[in-house]
Amino acid sequence: MMRTQKVRLYPNRHMKQVLDDLCDYRRYCWNKGLATWNDMYDLHTIERNSPRPGAYSVRNELVADKADWQYGLSARTLQLALADLGKAWQNFFDKSLPDWGKPRFKSKRAPRQGFKTDRAKIINGKLRLDRPRGVKAWYDIRISKQVDLAGILKVVSVYRENGQYWASLPFAVTVAAKPKTGENSAVDINVGHLNYTGGAINTLPNRLKKLYQRIKFYQKRLARKRVVNGKQATKSNNYQAMRAKLQRDYRKVTNIQHDIMQKFTTQLVTDYDKIVIEDLSVKKMQMAHVASKGLQRAMFGYFRQLLSYKCDWYDKVLILADKHYPSTQRCSKCGHIKSGNDKITLQGNATHKTKHHEYVCYNCGVTLERDKNAVVNLLALI
C-alpha cells in the first residue's frame, strides 16, 4: 500500500535557492514540453508521415536541446514533468474526470510552485535530494516532524506556498488488516454534520465558524483595496500582508477539516466491517446554488476518498448506494417513498410546512428524524 506523510521543510539559505530553482525548472520543462507537444501534433496533422507526439518523443526532443545551465539541475525534474504531461494528455481523452480539459501552460504567478523527484532519501531525520553531477555545495533539509512511516520512499513532491516549503513523502508499506468486529454501519452525509449508526460527527465546530468569519473579513478588505487602487493594489506591502493572513486562515481551516475526517474515517474502519455511504453528485448539487457554500466546505469528496482507501488498507467493505436511491425520501418503518409535492428538500417541505430535520410519513403517520431515517435506509442495503 502507498501511505503519504506531509511535512514542512526548513531549508537553509543555499537550499532555499536550490528549491526555488527546481520549482522554476519544473515549470519551464512543463511549458516547453507542452509547446513542443503542440508543435509536433500540428506537424503530424499536416504531414501524415511525421510521428504522433508522445511523452517519450517529446522528452527526447527536450533532452537533445538541453542548454548548459540545465545540467546544473536535477535531470529527474525534467523526466517526471514530462511523464506528468503525458498523463495529462491521456486524461484529456476521458471526459468523465471531474477536472477534464486540455493541459495548460503553468504561470509563474501561481500561488503554488513545486517539483517532483524519485531519488530523495530520508537520512538522519532529514530530507536529502539528489545532487546533480559537478555540484559541491549541497545540504540535507530539516523537516518539521519525525517521519513515522517505514518503507520504500517513492516519488516525492516538494512545493512552495506562501513562502513556506512542504514535501509529500509517499512510502510503499505493508498494512495489517484490522480485526473483524461483525458490526455494520451507514453514513448519511449532511452539511455541517455526518450521521452514522453510532451517532453524529460535527464537521463545523465553533473554531471553524470563527475562522470563516475572519476569512470573510479579509476577503472584503482585499476586494475593497482592489476596487480603490486597481492593479496597483496587489503590489503594496499592506495588501501582501493581509493576503498572507487570509492564506494562513485557509490553511488552518484545511488542517481542522482534514483532522476531523481522518479521525472519523479511522474510527469507522476500526469499529465496523461493512460501511454504506451515498454516491452523491456533488458538482451537480453545487450548481443548484442551494447551500452551495456549505456543500463546498463539507468536503464530501475528501471523505469518500479517505474512506475508500482505508477500507482497502484494512480489508473492510465499502458499499456505495445508487445515486437515485431514496434514502431521504423513504420511510424506514413502512417503506413508503415520498414523491411530488411530498418530497423533503433542504428547507423541509413547504406544502406540509415541515422542518428540514423532520420526516413525516403520510402513509403510516410516523414522525422520524430525517438523518436517522436516512441512516436506517442506507443500512438496509447491506
Most confident range (mean pLDDT) of 46-55, 94-103, 189-198, 347-356 is 189-198
Using one digit for the tens of pLDDT, what is the confidence trace for 105-116?
999 988 899 999
Which is higher by pLDDT, 61 or 323?
A: 61
pLDDT band for 66, please (50, 70, 90 cuts): very high
Residue 185: pLDDT above 90? yes
At 154 the pLDDT is 92
Residue 54: pLDDT above 70? yes
Going by C-beta distance under 8 Å and a sequence separation of 6 or more, which residues neighbour residue 115? Answer: 22, 23, 25, 26, 77, 80, 81, 157, 158, 159
What residue ranges do the domains of the chain occupy? 2-172, 184-321
Which is higher by pLDDT, 143 or 301?
A: 143
At 371 the pLDDT is 86
DSSP 40-100: HHHHHHH-TTSPPP-HHHHHHHHHHT--GGGGGS-HHHHHHHHHHHHHHHHHHT-TTSTT-
What share of the chain has pLDDT > 70, as a percent?
96
Across the range 25-38, mean pLDDT stands at 96
At 207 the pLDDT is 93
pLDDT band for 368, please (50, 70, 90 cuts): confident
Distance of alpha carbon 159 from alpha carbon 114, whole angstroms: 4
Residue 290: pLDDT above 60? no
Distance of alpha carbon 267 from alpha carbon 178, whole angstroms: 11
Residue 35: pLDDT above 70? yes
Distance of alpha carbon 12 from alpha carbon 239, whole angstroms: 27
Secondary structure letter of residue 342 according to DSSP: G
Residue 20: pLDDT above 70? yes
Listed residue (287, 286, 281, 300) closest to 192, CA to CA:
300
| Of 31-35, 122-126, 178-182, 338-342, the least confident | 338-342
Q: What is the mean pLDDT of the chain?
A: 88
Distance of alpha carbon 94 from alpha carbon 88, whole angstroms: 10
Residue 293: pLDDT above 80? no
At 287 the pLDDT is 60
Asked whether 143 and 8 are in contact (CB, 8 A), the reply is: yes
pLDDT band for 81, please (50, 70, 90 cuts): very high
At 78 the pLDDT is 95
Using one digit for the tens of pLDDT, what is the confidence trace for 160-182?
988 899 999 999 888 888 899 99
Distance of alpha carbon 237 from alpha carbon 265, whole angstroms: 42
Other Cβ atoms less than 10 A from the Cβ of 48: the count is 7
Most confident range (mean pLDDT) of 58-67, 169-178, 296-305 is 58-67
Across the range 175-191, mean pLDDT stands at 89
193: which 3 cell numbers? 454534520
Amino acid at 233: A
Listed residue (299, 307, 320, 300) closest to 268, CA to CA:
307
